[in-house]
Amino acid sequence: MMDIKTITPSKVSGLSKYICFYYELELDNENYYAFPSSNNVICIFEQADVNYASDCIHIKKNSTFPNSFTALNKYTKPLLVKSEGKVREFVIIFKPFGLSQFTTADFTNSPFFHIDEFADFLEQETNFFELSVHEKIKVVESYLHSKLNEKKELDLVIQALNLLEEEKLNIKEIAKELNCSYKKMYRLFITHCRCSPTVLRNNIRFRNILETLKTQNKNFKLSDIAFDEGFYDQASFNRMFKNQTGITPKKFFKEVSVFSKKNIYFKNIKEV
C-alpha cells in the first residue's frame, strides 16, 4: 500500500464544515487493520462484494456487482480489512457530526452499513471511476449539496466537541459549560454523531495519544502521557490502548504505518 494523498473539500463547496478530506485507494489482495477514530468513513467501491462481520470487512472484486456506497460508524476496536482481487475505492472522511447532515438514516447502532439513500448517485455516475480524482470530488460535492439538511443545534455540538478536544473536559463538565443538561447533550450527540459521548470521547482521546506518541523521543514516559490525557494510572491507560489497537503503545509505531499527513494509520498483515 502506497502513501495516501488526501484532498480537502474545495473552498467554494462550503463542505469543509462537515468533511475532513477525500482520498483514493486501490486494494490488491491486501489485509490490514484500521484503528478507531472520531470520524465517519464513507467508501464508494467499484464492483465489489463488501460484507461485514465480527469487526472484519471483507472486500471481494466481482465484476457482476454494481458500484456501492458503504459507511463506517465510530468503532472502538481494531477493524480488520481483507481484500480479494484489485478493488478501487473513493473515500470520504466526514467529521464526527458530518454524515448525519446528509442522510436521514439512523445508524447509531450500526458499525457498518450501506447508504441506500445515495443509490441515485451511483445510477447517475456510472463512469465514476473513469474520472480524475478532482472530477470525482466535483461530482460528489455537487451531489452532497443536494442532500444537505443540517439538523438543529449543530453549533452546540461543535462547541461541545471543541471543549472535548481542547479542554479535555468530560461530558457533564461540557454540558455545564454550555448551560445544557446532560440528558440533552447526550441526545444531541446521538442525533448528530450517532454514538454516545463516551465512545466519541474515548476515540478522540485515543487519537490525541497517537499524535503525542508519534512526536515523542525514545526516552518518553508513558506515565506522563497517561497523566496528560486524564488517566489515573498507567495500567488503565495501557488497557484502553490495547483495547483500541490490540497491541501495546511501545509496539504500535513499530508495527503500524502512517500513510498520510492526515494520520491514516494501517497495520499491514501478510496473512490472516
Residue 91: CATH number of its domain: 2.60.120
**82 within a domain of the structure (yes/no):** yes
Question: pLDDT tens digits for 133-159?
Answer: 999 999 999 999 999 999 999 999 999
Task: Say how far apart CA 20 and CA 167 lie, in whole Å.
Answer: 21
User: What per-residue confidence (pLDDT) applies to 83?
Assistant: 96
| 74 and 161 assigned to the same domain | no
User: What per-residue confidence (pLDDT) applies to 2?
Assistant: 58
C-alpha cell at 44: 464508494
Query: H helices within the chain, ranges in order?
Result: 119-124, 133-147, 154-162, 171-177, 182-193, 197-214, 222-228, 234-245, 249-255
Among candidate residues 147, 163, 195, the one where a domain is terminated: 147
Among candidate residues 95, 119, 147, the one where a domain is terminated: 147
| 19 and 141 assigned to the same domain | yes
Q: What is the mean predicted confidence (pLDDT) over 201-227?
A: 80
Task: Say how far apart CA 230 and CA 208 lie, in whole Å.
Answer: 12
User: What per-residue confidence (pLDDT) applies to 249?
Assistant: 82
* Residue 59 CB burial class (10 angstroms; 0-12, 13-18, ≥19): buried
Question: pLDDT tens digits for 8-17?
Answer: 998 888 999 9
Question: pLDDT tens digits for 67-78?
Answer: 999 999 999 999
| 52 and 140 assigned to the same domain | yes
Task: Say how far apart CA 21 and CA 10 lie, in whole Å.
Answer: 10
* Beta strand 79-84 pairing with 56-61: parallel
| 42 and 137 assigned to the same domain | yes
**163 within a domain of the structure (yes/no):** yes
Among candidate residues 147, 176, 192, the one where a domain is terminated: 147
Q: In this structure, what CATH number is given to the domain that contains residue 218?
A: 1.10.10.60
User: What per-residue confidence (pLDDT) applies to 164?
Assistant: 87
| 126 and 71 assigned to the same domain | yes
Question: pLDDT tens digits for 10-60?
Answer: 888 899 999 999 999 999 999 999 999 999 999 999 999 999 999 999 999
**238 within a domain of the structure (yes/no):** yes
User: What per-residue confidence (pLDDT) applies to 229?
Assistant: 78
**94 within a domain of the structure (yes/no):** yes
Q: Structurally, how many domains does the chain consist of?
A: 2
Question: pLDDT tens digits for 87-116?
Answer: 999 999 999 999 999 999 899 988 899 988
Note whether 151 and 191 are within 8 A (CB).
Answer: yes
| 163 and 104 assigned to the same domain | no
Give the domain range for residue 232.
Answer: 154-245
| 28 and 142 assigned to the same domain | yes
**267 within a domain of the structure (yes/no):** no
What share of the chain in percent tops pLDDT 90?
65
**271: pLDDT strictly greater than 60:** no
**6 within a domain of the structure (yes/no):** no
What share of the chain in percent tops pLDDT 70?
96
User: What per-residue confidence (pLDDT) applies to 272?
Assistant: 41
C-alpha cell at 216: 515523542
* Residue 38: CB atoms within 10 Å: 24
Question: DSSP letter at 12?
Answer: G
User: What per-residue confidence (pLDDT) applies to 167?
Assistant: 74
User: What per-residue confidence (pLDDT) applies to 223?
Assistant: 81
**270: pLDDT strictly greater than 70:** no
**263: pLDDT strictly greater than 80:** no
User: What per-residue confidence (pLDDT) applies to 217?
Assistant: 60
User: What per-residue confidence (pLDDT) applies to 253?
Assistant: 76
Looking at every residue in the chain, the average pLDDT score rounds to 90
Residue 49 has φ and ψ, to the nearest 5°, of: -90, 115
| 38 and 120 assigned to the same domain | yes
**104 within a domain of the structure (yes/no):** yes
| 15 and 132 assigned to the same domain | yes
Task: Pick 267 or 91 by higher pLDDT.
Answer: 91
C-alpha cell at 114: 450501506
| 214 and 135 assigned to the same domain | no
**258 within a domain of the structure (yes/no):** no
| 114 and 235 assigned to the same domain | no
17-26, 198-207, 256-265: which range is least confident on average?
A: 256-265
User: What per-residue confidence (pLDDT) applies to 250?
Assistant: 79
Could you identify the residue written with the cell 495501557? 238
| 129 and 210 assigned to the same domain | no
**64: pLDDT strictly greater than 90:** yes
User: What per-residue confidence (pLDDT) applies to 236?
Assistant: 86
